[in-house]
């Protein structure tokens, strides 16, 4: 159950993972364009460690085609989260601890 001011939202009505409550759903990293941690990691793996998704999101943000302040629960731009996700995946691969959250 999620609480928004005086309203409540049932967890089954939420389509993306929000925090720690919906661990059975994909972990969104980019709320504006719907990219998950798994999407980013697979994209980087398919392109020799370089994420084309990150480049596309960076360009979209530069062009003003995002709404992070409305769609991201943190109200912040997702580019830092994308960078952290890719860095963590690179580190996990280098240390042999591959897996996503």
pLDDT value for 100: 47
What letter would DSSP give residue 20? T
Domain assignments of the chain as residue spans, ordered by start: 23-95
Nearest by Cα to 82 from 28, 1, 3, 25: 28
3-state DSSP assignment of residue 59: helix
| Model confidence pLDDT, tens digit, residues 80-90 | 999 999 999 88
Mean pLDDT per block of 10 residues along the chain (101 residues) reads 74 62 70 90 93 95 91 89 91 64 47
Q: What was the pLDDT predicted at 64? A: 93
Q: Give the global pTM.
A: 0.69
């Amino acid at each position: 159950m999620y609480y928004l001011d005086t309203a409540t939202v049932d967890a089954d009505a939420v389509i993306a993972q929000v925090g720690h409550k919906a661990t059975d759903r994909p972990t969104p990293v980019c709320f504006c364009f719907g990219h998950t941690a798994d999407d980013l990691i697979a994209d980087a793996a398919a392109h020799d460690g370089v994420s084309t998704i990150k480049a596309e999101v960076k360009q979209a943000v530069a062009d003003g085609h995002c709404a992070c302040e409305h769609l991201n629960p943190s109200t912040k731009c997702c580019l830092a989260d994308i960078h952290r996700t890719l860095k963590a995946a690179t580190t996990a691969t280098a240390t042999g601890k591959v897996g996503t959250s």
